[in-house]
């Protein structure tokens, strides 16, 4: 079983014996639905009618002129609930329904995945319980309220660091005793097989659309794709459309926190080492003794102390490159996009924008065509940005 879902040496299934039947049931259902015409038709319908797909591939003309490259933005920020996360919750919610499950559980840090799960639960008539570290519940009161409005229960997790990684452990624990009626809806390309592959499948709609759209607009493939990496789902989604096009450069941007030279960083690939966390082998931020570190970034969505195993693999074979962007650089890019294009990006996405600007300004990259995956909108981040900018001015 641990040899399933391998990306080189990464990935696999490292879970307690008791969870094996649940994972096997899920794997079988996923492969069956993936081939099922009715399932995929319904999936497409929800993408279109509920989420608002396809999203635009938007030519950022003002920014492009300023930095000397052609920059296109894949507008996942325009989706329902404000980010790409809805692509995955629709897919897994529908899958749960096909499996005859009546309840979804999910983990959430800042609350974005919790909200995306709560709304699909409401839409499909499934009960939802969201596990959330008690520290995060305190910090994200408004998002807790949003989840509750859609009928979800929010369960504070009071163990360990009382944040995301502990809520994932609690969700797994609950799933062990509730698997008969419950699907665990993981929010990113992490966890044991089949999760990384499954989440990638549901997010691959981003890459499929982007590839078609750039060919229509430019008549050729882009030189470079740039996307931010938390657990790795929006980046895997857009990368998947171009993985086989070896001339297209793929760049994942990690949250460098206060800077990778400090301990306060979310840059898992740049600073992490091989380790097993939450069911798979990947790069993990940990001490020499294997203690998991707290990832730290101004954007909560980039705070996960590990990264999807396929990213660790793409890094190891040099198919994709991973770079850190620190908090200040992200905040600057946030303002730059607001000013030049009138688009307010999520702080996570601002990391990708920041690297795109840096990249475009290098002499060797002049005139290149770049697609930046704008994973989400920044409305959720107003309180953080206004606080940070006050400190700076
Ligand atoms: C959650 C989130 C991310 C990070 O998650 P990935 O799985 O790495 O995509 C990035 N951007 C936004 C807007 C998010 O909400």
pLDDT in tens, the chain (393 residues): 668 999 999 999 999 999 999 999 999 999 999 999 999 999 999 999 999 999 999 999 999 999 999 999 999 999 999 999 999 999 999 999 999 999 999 999 999 999 999 999 999 999 999 999 999 999 899 999 999 999 999 999 999 888 899 999 999 999 999 999 999 999 999 999 999 999 999 999 999 999 999 999 999 999 999 999 999 999 999 999 999 999 999 999 999 998 766 666 668 998 899 999 999 999 999 988 888 887 778 888 888 889 999 999 999 999 999 999 999 999 999 999 999 999 999 999 999 999 999 999 999 999 999 999 999 999 999 999 999 988 766
| 233 ligand 1 Cβ < 6 A | yes
341 is catalytic: no
Nearest CA to ligand 1 atom 13: 376
Residue 313: predicted pLDDT: 98
Which residue CA neighbors atom 3 of ligand 1 most closely? 301
pLDDT for residue 197? 98
Our answer to whether residue 375 is catalytic in this structure is yes
For β-strands 70-75 and 57-59, DSSP reports them as antiparallel
What pLDDT shows up at residue 260? 65
**Ligand 1 atom at shortest distance from the alpha carbon of 302:** 4
* Ligand 1 center from residue 17 Cα (angstroms): 30
Rounded to whole angstroms, how far apart are CA atoms 270 and 295? Answer: 12
Contact 151, 123 (CB under 8 A): no
Atom of ligand 1 nearest to the CA of 189: 7
Token couple for 245: 């096009």
- Whether residue 111 has its Cβ less than 6 Å from ligand 1: no
pLDDT digits (tens, 9 = 90+) for 59-89: 999 999 999 999 999 999 999 999 999 999 9
Model pLDDT for residues 257-270, shown as the tens digit of each residue: 987 666 666 689 98
Buried b (16+ CB within 10 A) or exposed e, 78-99: bbbbbbbbbbbbbbbbbbbbbb
Residues in the chain: 393
CA-only gyration radius of the chain, Å:
19
Query: What is the Cα–Cα distance from 71 to 69, expressed in whole angstroms?
Result: 6
d(CA 128, CA 258): 35
Q: DSSP 3-state assignment of 197?
A: helix
**Contact by Cβ (8 Å): 330, 351:** yes
Chain centroid to Cα 128, Å, comes to 20
Q: Which two tokens stand for residue 113?
A: 């995945």
Q: What is the model's pLDDT at position 134? A: 94
The pLDDT, as a whole number, for residue 129 is 98
Q: CA 371: distance to chain centroid? A: 17
66 is catalytic: no
Q: What confidence score (pLDDT) does residue 390 get? A: 82
Catalytic choice (27, 70, 97, 107): 107
| Sheet order of strands, 249-255 included | 57-59, 70-75, 369-374, 224-229, 249-255, 320-325
Distances (CA, A) of 217 to 61, 72, 237, 267, 325: 13, 10, 20, 34, 29
Taking alpha carbons only, the member of 300, 264, 302, 308 closest to residue 283 is 308
236 lines ligand 1 (CB under 6 A): no
Name the active-site residue from 70, 85, 97, 200.
Answer: 85
Residue 75 pairs with which residues in a beta bridge? 374
The C-alpha angle 307, 11, 301, rounded to 5 degrees, equals 20
Q: How many angstroms separate the alpha carbon of residue 363 from the centre of ligand 1?
A: 30
Report angle CA 347, 348, 350 to the nearest 5 degrees.
60
The percent of the chain in helix, strand and coil, each rounded to the nearest 5, is 50, 20, 30
DSSP code, position 371: E
Please tell me the predicted confidence (pLDDT) of residue 253: 98
- What is the pTM assigned to this prediction? 0.97
């Amino acid at each position: 079983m641990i040899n399933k879902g391998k990306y080189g040496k990464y990935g696999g299934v490292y879970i307690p014996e008791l969870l094996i039947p649940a994972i096997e049931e899920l794997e079988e259902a996923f492969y069956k639905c993936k081939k099922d015409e009715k399932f995929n038709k319904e999936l497409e319908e929800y993408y279109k009618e509920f989420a608002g797909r396809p999203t635009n591939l938007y030519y950022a003309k003002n920014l492009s002129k300023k930095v000397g490259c052609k920059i296109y933005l894949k507008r996942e920020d325009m989706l329902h609930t404000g980010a790409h996360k809805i692509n995955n919750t629709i897919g897994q919610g529908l899958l749960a329904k096909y499996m005859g499950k009546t309840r979804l559980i999910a983990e959430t840090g800042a609350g974005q995945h919790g909200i995306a799960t709560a709304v699909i639960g409401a839409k499909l008539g499934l009960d939802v319980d969201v596990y959330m570290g008690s520290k995060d519940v305190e910090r994200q009161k408004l998002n807790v309220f949003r989840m509750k409005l859609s009928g979800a229960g929010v369960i504070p997790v009071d163990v360990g660091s009382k944040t995301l990684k502990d809520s994932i452990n609690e969700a797994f624990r609950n799933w062990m005793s509730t698997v008969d009626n419950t699907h665990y809806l993981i929010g990113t390309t992490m966890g044991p097989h089949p999760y990384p592959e499954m989440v990638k499948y549901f997010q691959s709609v981003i890459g499929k659309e982007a590839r078609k759209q750039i060919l229509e607009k430019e008549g050729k493939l882009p030189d470079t794709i740039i996307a931010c990496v938390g657990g790795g789902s929006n980046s895997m989604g857009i990368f998947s459309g171009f993985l086989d096009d070896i001339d297209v450069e793929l760049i994942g941007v990690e949250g460098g926190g206060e800077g990778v030279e400090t301990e306060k960083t979310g840059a898992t690939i740049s600073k992490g080492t091989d380790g097993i966390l939450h069911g798979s082998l990947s790069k993990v931020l940990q001490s020499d003794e294997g203690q998991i570190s707290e990832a730290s970034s101004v954007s909560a969505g980039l705070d996960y102390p590990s990264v999807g195993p396929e990213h660790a693999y793409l890094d190891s074979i040099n198919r994709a490159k991973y770079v850190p962007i620190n908090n200040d650089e992200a905040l600057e890019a946030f303002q730059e996009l607001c000013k030049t294009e009138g688009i307010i990006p999520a702080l996570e996405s601002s990391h990708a924008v920041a690297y795109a600007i840096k990249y475009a300004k290098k002499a060797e990259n002049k005139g290149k065509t770049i697609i930046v995956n704008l994973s989400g909108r920044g409305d959720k981040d107003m309180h953080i940005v206004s606080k940070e900018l006050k400190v700076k001015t």
